A and B are shown apart, each in its own frame.
Chain A
Amino acid sequence: AQKITQTQPGMFVQEKEAVTLDCTYDTSDPSYGLFWYKQPSSGEMIFLIYQGSYDQQNATEGRYSLNFQKARKSANLVISASQLGDSAMYFCAMRGQSSGSARQLTFGSGTQLTVLP
């Protein structure tokens, strides 16, 4: 079984500051992928970034980067230079070999990020 834990139900950050959203996971799969999605108040799910378990380098995508610490089973999302439009719910998710043959995603409970002007 796979499990994703997001321990921060809510986070606040000042505009232009960096913020780290925590995600820890539990799996016995040797190969897996970790994903972050953004859900604005309008409800859609926007894919942000992913990290493969065998990737040597941490993933980066514009202002998003993933601080992947495999030994600690953590995959924290770092947002640099926060903008007001970053205010949203952020979900960490994973999929691996034990996700089923179709590799469905397992989601965490989410972190509500509020960017303050």
Chain B
Amino acid sequence: EPEVTQTPSHQVTQMGQEVILRCVPISNHLYFYWYRQILGQKVEFLVSFYNNEISEKSEIFDDQFSVERPDGSNFTLKIRSTKLEDSAMYFCASTRVTGSPNQPQHFGDGTRLSIL
């Protein structure tokens, strides 16, 4: 069964450094998402992406964050200057269509980002 894949599984970065998290969504999916889960807390929506542009973004997704689909398969999340509070598990998700609210989103295994 097709899967969403994320790399790396764990990223350790010094505060202030840039980090890029990578995702390969399921190939026939059209909507892509990034979510964040701080340790012990609920999963929070960051941003959605459709047709090569941001569709929605949350208050968390400030100017330090950006997303890109550099080619036909990868979907990346960049954090320009990381802060300690960016330490979290970051999930990529995708869904085939979104006209119906009943379509499930398929998640990758996540990237655990640790900021030192």
| Chain A residues close to B by CB (< 8 Å) | 29, 31-33, 35, 37, 42-47, 50, 52-53, 91, 93, 95-97, 99-110
Asked if B25 lies at the interface with its beta carbon under 8 angstroms from chain A, I say: no
Q: Give which listed residue, B48, B101, B107, contacts A37 with CB less than 8 A.
A: B107
- Contact status B107-A104, CB under 8 Å: no
CB distance from A27 to the nearest CB of B (A): 10
Task: Tell me the residues in window 55-108 of chain B with beta carbons closer than 8 Å to chain A beta carbons.
Answer: 55-56, 89, 91, 93, 95, 98, 100-108
- Given known contacts A43-B109, A43-B112, A110-B42, is B101 in contact with A104 (CB within 8 Å)? no
Residues of A within 8 A of B106 (CB): 47
Closest to B32 in A: A102
- Contact status B101-A44, CB under 8 Å: no
- Contact status A102-B101, CB under 8 Å: no
- Given known contacts A100-B48, A104-B45, is B107 in contact with A32 (CB within 8 Å)? no
- Contact status A105-B45, CB under 8 Å: yes
* Interface-centre pick from A31, A43, A110 (highest chain B CB count, 10 A): A43
Asked if B43 lies at the interface with its beta carbon under 8 angstroms from chain A, I say: yes
- Contact status B48-A43, CB under 8 Å: no
Residues of B within 8 A of A100 (CB): 48, 55-56
CB distance from A78 to the nearest CB of B (A): 19
- Contact status B104-A47, CB under 8 Å: yes
CB distance from A40 to the nearest CB of B (A): 10
Given contacts A102-B56, A110-B42, 19 further A-B contacts (CB under 8 A): A37-B107, A43-B89, A43-B109, A43-B110, A44-B110, A45-B110, A47-B106, A95-B101, A96-B101, A101-B55, A101-B98, A102-B48, A102-B50, A103-B101, A105-B35, A105-B105, A106-B45, A107-B43, A109-B41
- Given known contacts A35-B104, A95-B101, A96-B101, is B33 in contact with A102 (CB within 8 Å)? yes
Closest to A55 in B: B102
* Interface-centre pick from A29, A32, A52, A100 (highest chain B CB count, 10 A): A100
